[in-house]
């Protein structure tokens, strides 16, 4: 059964068949799948807000893109995907950034604003994001790691991942805002917009990104990177708002690790360009991050920031 605490909902299956069936009927009436392309990336580029007030930095970044109204229409249902992987400093999306995005969505006329996750409520509480969600009267929809709650989505142009398994409830929303924190990763070296989408994909499917002998064959690390890129072919955020205010540059993605504090929030529709910018914040070369390079080569976005365009402003 679904138990509600405030506007938080926790979805299960099995003994909770009633809820699952109800969800299934709703989906049956909905269009089959959200389109894999959202707002046209043209004329957006990378927008960066900088300042000690992280909320204002987020607002500035979105304003530089033309405002949230470009991405969220009146009456829209909006899904948000912050990163709450760990509560160690610099490993999760800052509450101030989430609060700003929720307010921007509301000001744009969103009817519903929900964070989606298959992690636990403790993750959200520990990161301070649940408090923000409650205070801003947004929704937190938590899902068990049950395959019945995910739906198969064919990956167009797949090279390694022919089929993703995305949270079924995701397809009930009109707009999707991807909200990672950029940081170090022991395997991939970098985490940003591309990798964050694994938070929508089923944990079982995510595990297939790692081949059985991934520890001993770099070709299998390349397989992991290609799977991340393929996943991004199946789902395209309408907007990415990346927390680059404070993040770990060692011992990622879980931390604790050495903190870098650029005090920036980075927004854009082009995931490759946004990730390329974020990688540069800590001295990484985007073309050397396999997932960014493959994403560019396979048409997900522009790796050359001069071509993508970067707008920066103090908040």
Partner 1 sequence: MRSLAVLALAGCLVMSCAPDRAAPRKGSLLDLLPKGEAAGWARDGAPEEYEGEALYIYINGGAEIYHEYGFRRVVLQDYESPPGGSVSLEIFEMGTPEAAYGMFTFKRSGKGRTVPLGNGSELESYYLNFWKGRHLVTLTGFDEEPATAEGLLAIGKAVEARIRDSGAEPGLVKALPAQGLKPGSVKYLRGLLGLNSFYPFPTARGLLFDQGVGGAYESGETLIILEYGSAGKSEAARDGLSGFLSGSDKFAEEDVESAGIRAFRDAKGRAVCLAGSGTRLLVAVGPERADCLDLIGRAR
CB of 249 to partner 1, least distance (A): 9
Give the span between the Cα atoms of 118 and 125, in whole angstroms. Answer: 14
- Candidates 22-30, 74-82, 174-182, 183-191: pick the segment binding partner 1 (CB under 8 A): 183-191
Q: Is residue 218 part of the contact set for partner 1 (CB under 8 A)? A: yes
Structure tokens at 135: 């205070």
Cis amide leading into 253 (omega within 30): yes
Q: What distance in Å separates the CA atoms of residue 178 and residue 219, rounded to the nearest whole number?
A: 28
Q: Does residue number 256 form part of the binding site for partner 1 (CB under 8 A)?
A: yes
Q: Which among 42-50, 229-237, 255-263, 294-302 is the span making contact with partner 1, rule CB under 8 A?
A: 255-263
CA atoms of 248 and 183, how far apart (whole Å) = 5
CB of 74 to partner 1, least distance (A): 36
Asked if residue 18 lies in contact with residue 1, where contact means CB atoms within 8 angstroms, the answer is yes
Which residues, numbered 81-100, are part of the site for partner 1 (CB under 8 A)?
85-89
> How are the residues of the chain apportioned to helix, strand and coil, as percentages rounded to the nearest 5?
40, 20, 40
Q: Is 199 helix (H, G, I), strand (E, B) or coil?
A: helix
Cis peptide before 256 (omega within 30 of 0): yes
Q: How many residues does the chain have?
A: 315
Closest distance of CB 24 from partner 1, Å = 26
Told to check if 182 binds partner 1 by CB under 8 A, we report: no
Give the range of 43-51, 71-79, 99-107, 257-265 binding partner 1 by CB under 8 A.
Answer: 257-265
Does position 261 interact with partner 1 (CB under 8 A)? The reply is no
Residue 72 Cβ vs partner 1, minimum distance, rounded to whole Å:
28
Backbone angles phi, psi at 303, to 5 degrees: -85, -20
One of 33, 67, 69, 187 touching partner 1 (CB under 8 A): 187
Decide if 231 contacts 197 (C-beta within 8 A).
yes
Q: Which stretch binds partner 1 (CB under 8 A): 1-9, 21-29, 115-123, 303-311?
A: 115-123
Report, in Å, the least distance between residue 218 CB and partner 1. Answer: 5
202 makes contact with partner 1 (CB under 8 A): no
DSSP codes, 263-281: -EEEEES-HHHHHHHHHHH
Question: Does 211 participate in binding partner 1 (rule CB under 8 A)?
Answer: no
Asked if residue 210 binds partner 1 (CB under 8 A), the reply is: yes
Closest contact distance (angstroms) between CB of 313 and partner 1 is: 28
How many chain residues touch partner 1 (CB under 8 A)?
33
- Residue 49 vs residues 155, 245, 272: alpha-carbon distances, Å: 33, 10, 18
How many Cβ atoms from other residues are within 10 Å of residue 254's Cβ? 16
Residues that bind partner 1 (CB under 8 A): 85-89, 119-120, 122, 185-187, 189, 198, 203, 210, 214-219, 221, 250-259, 288
């Amino acid at each position: 059964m679904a138990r509600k605490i405030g506007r938080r909902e926790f979805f299960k299956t099995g003994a909770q068949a009633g809820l699952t069936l109800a969800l299934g009927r709703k989906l049956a009436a909905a269009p089959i799948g959200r389109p894999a392309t959202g707002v046209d990336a043209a004329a957006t580029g990378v927008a960066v807000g900088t300042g000690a007030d992280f909320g204002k930095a987020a607002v500035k970044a979105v304003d530089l893109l033309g405002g949230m109204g470009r991405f969220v229409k009146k009456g829209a249902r909006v899904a948000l995907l912050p990163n709450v992987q760990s509560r160690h400093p610099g490993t999760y999306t800052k509450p101030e950034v989430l609060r700003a995005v929720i307010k921007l969505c509301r000001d744009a006329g969103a009817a519903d604003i929900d964070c989606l996750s298959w992690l636990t409520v403790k993750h959200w509480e520990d990161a301070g994001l649940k408090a923000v969600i409650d205070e801003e009267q947004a929704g937190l929809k938590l899902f068990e790691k049950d395959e019945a709650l995910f739906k198969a989505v064919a990956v167009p142009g797949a090279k390694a991942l022919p089929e993703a398994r995305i949270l079924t409830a995701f397809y009930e929303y009109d707009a999707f805002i991807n909200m990672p924190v950029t940081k170090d990763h022991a395997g991939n070296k970098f985490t940003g917009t591309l990798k964050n989408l694994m938070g929508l994909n089923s944990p079982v499917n995510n595990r297939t990104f790692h081949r059985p002998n991934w520890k001993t064959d770099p070709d299998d690390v390349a397989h992991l990177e290609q799977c991340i890129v393929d996943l991004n072919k199946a789902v395209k955020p309408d907007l990415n708002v990346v927390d680059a205010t404070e993040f770990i540059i060692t011992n990622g993605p879980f931390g604790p690790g050495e903190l870098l504090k650029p005090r920036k929030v980075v927004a854009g529709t082009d995931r490759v360009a946004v990730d390329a910018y974020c990688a540069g914040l800590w001295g990484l070369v985007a073309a050397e991050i396999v997932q960014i390079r493959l994403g560019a080569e396979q048409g997900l976005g522009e790796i050359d920031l001069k071509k993508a365009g970067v707008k920066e402003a103090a908040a």
